[in-house]
């Protein structure tokens, strides 16, 4: 899936994909602060006490900033944003168009 995901079971699936691939994912969760945090999942464990999944993120976001919290319960995550891996996206060049195409009007 790609785009904004709000269904809990699909959120978990995308978090697992992030963990398996090492790819960043956008996460909206109050404990991470306002807005979206681009980060990667380090591990996912079952919490029998809370009857939930514990999501352990890398301690820094995609820009290298320390996250306010890197341990979340799945139920804290309101939505996630996924995008295709960099290899699947059109390359941007100095001319601005995908794959080197000159998009300037003449």
Residue 22: DSSP 8-state: -
User: What pTM value is reported for the model?
Assistant: 0.75
Structural domain boundaries in the chain = 3-88
pLDDT digits (tens, 9 = 90+) for 20-56: 999 999 999 999 999 999 999 999 999 888 788 999 9
Closest CA to 37 of 93, 92, 95, 76: 76
Comparing CA positions, the residue from 53, 52, 44 lying closest to residue 20 is: 44
pLDDT digits (tens, 9 = 90+) for 41-95: 999 999 888 788 999 999 999 899 999 999 999 999 999 998 776 654 444 444 4
Question: What is the spatial distance between Cα 68 and Cα 15, in angstroms, rounded to a whole number?
Answer: 19
């Amino acid at each position: 899936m790609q785009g904004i995901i709000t269904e809990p079971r699909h959120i978990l699936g995308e978090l697992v994909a992030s963990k398996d691939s090492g790819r960043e994912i956008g996460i909206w969760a109050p404990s991470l602060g306002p807005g979206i945090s681009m980060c990667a999942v380090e591990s996912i464990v079952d919490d029998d006490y809370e009857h939930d999944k514990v999501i352990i993120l890398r301690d820094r976001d995609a820009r290298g900033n320390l996250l306010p919290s890197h341990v979340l319960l799945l139920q804290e995550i309101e939505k996630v944003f996924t995008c295709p891996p960099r290899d699947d996206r059109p390359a941007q060049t100095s001319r601005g168009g995908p794959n080197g195409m000159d998009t300037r009007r003449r």
